[in-house]
Amino acid sequence: DAKTTQPPSMDCAEGRAANLPCNHSTISGNEYVYWYRQIHSQGPQYIIHGLKNNETNEMASLIITEDRKSSTLILPHATLRDTAVYYCIVRVSLYGSGNTGKLIFGQGTTLQVKP
Amino acid sequence: EAQVTQNPRYLITVTGKKLTVTCSQNMNHEYMSWYRQDPGLGLRQIYYSMNVEVTDKGDVPEGYKVSRKEKRNFPLILESPSPNQTSLYFCASSLYQGAYEQYFGPGTRLTVT
């Protein structure tokens, strides 16, 4: 699985968009980009994933560069409840591929949403 | 409600006293796994299970055992706990091992004295 690099911390004003960057320059063609978050020692929570197209769901948007070497998670209107550690993870998603299903969590980005 | 449950949520025990942390999911998922989380080390996989009766070691399996006799349950067993197993433990499940979304339990904070 490719390695990811994220800034250790970021601040965002409540109500503004939070843009969390992630570098994954060694990503392979069959590897997806996933984002999870962990709110204060709770279990990690899936946010969104993508392969090469931009993706949007009810929680966030994921923008992946054309060369796929980096991506940005966007929380369009951050609230205080979005304060958490955000993890960018790169991994294949195949059934029966022999992969162990393991998610490799790095140190992530601690997002502090301020009033 | 689709969920992964763990019990107990908090446990303080003494060295050498066998304990079991239970994990159960109600989503008919094939894949389940255990992670531990320690400051500065992130989450590391302990054991995983592709399906009933199929388990395998993750990155840090020493000192732990697991079993998967039923699809919904995946208990973590510490036969002889030691202080270095003091940690925050998470159980996770997904439809299959490569599924994009894994569901995590609320965590079990274990202290071994």
pLDDT for position B78: 98
Chosen from B97, B109, B110 to mutate, greatest number of chain A CBs within 10 A: B97
pLDDT for position B52: 94
Q: Give me the tens of pLDDT residue by residue for chain A, a chain 115 residues long.
A: 668 999 999 999 999 999 999 999 999 888 899 999 999 989 999 999 999 989 999 999 999 999 999 999 999 999 999 999 999 999 877 665 667 788 889 899 999 999 9
Helix, strand, coil content of chain B in percent (nearest 5): 5, 50, 45
Residues in B lying within 8 Å of A, measured between beta carbons: 4, 31, 33, 42-43, 45, 48, 50, 56, 58-59, 88, 90, 92, 94, 96-107, 109
pLDDT for position A85: 97
pLDDT for position A2: 66
Write the residue in A97, A100, A106 that is nearest to B48 by C-beta: A100
Residue type, A80: L
Chosen from A94, A100, A104, A110 to mutate, greatest number of chain B CBs within 10 A: A100
Strand segments, DSSP code E, in chain A are: 9-13, 18-23, 31-38, 45-50, 55-56, 61-64, 70-75, 84-92, 109-114
* Closest of B79, B74, B68, B69 to residue B90, by C-alpha: B74
- Provide DSSP, B25-80: ESS--SEEEEEEEETTTEEEEEEEEEETTEEEE-S--TT-EE--SSSSB--EEESS
pLDDT for position A101: 82
Q: State whether B48 and A92 contact (CB < 8 Å).
A: no
* Closest of A79, A60, A36, A51 to residue B94, by C-alpha: A36
Residue A12 to residues A85, A104, B49: CA-CA distances in angstroms?
A: 13, 26, 39
- Spans of chain B, pLDDT less than 70: none
Q: Which residues touch A108 (CB under 8 Å, ≥6 apart)?
A: A6, A38, A85, A86, A87, A88, B42
The gap from C-alpha B22 to its chain's centroid, in whole angstroms, comes to 8
Residue type, B99: A
User: How many other C-beta atoms can be found within 10 angstroms of the C-beta atom of residue B62?
Assistant: 8
Write the residue in A34, A94, A101 that is nearest to B31 by C-beta: A101
Cα A62 from Cα B26, distance rounded (Å): 29
pLDDT for position A91: 87
Cα B73 from Cα B57, distance rounded (Å): 17
The gap from C-alpha B86 to its chain's centroid, in whole angstroms, comes to 14
Q: State whether A103 and B102 contact (CB < 8 Å).
A: yes
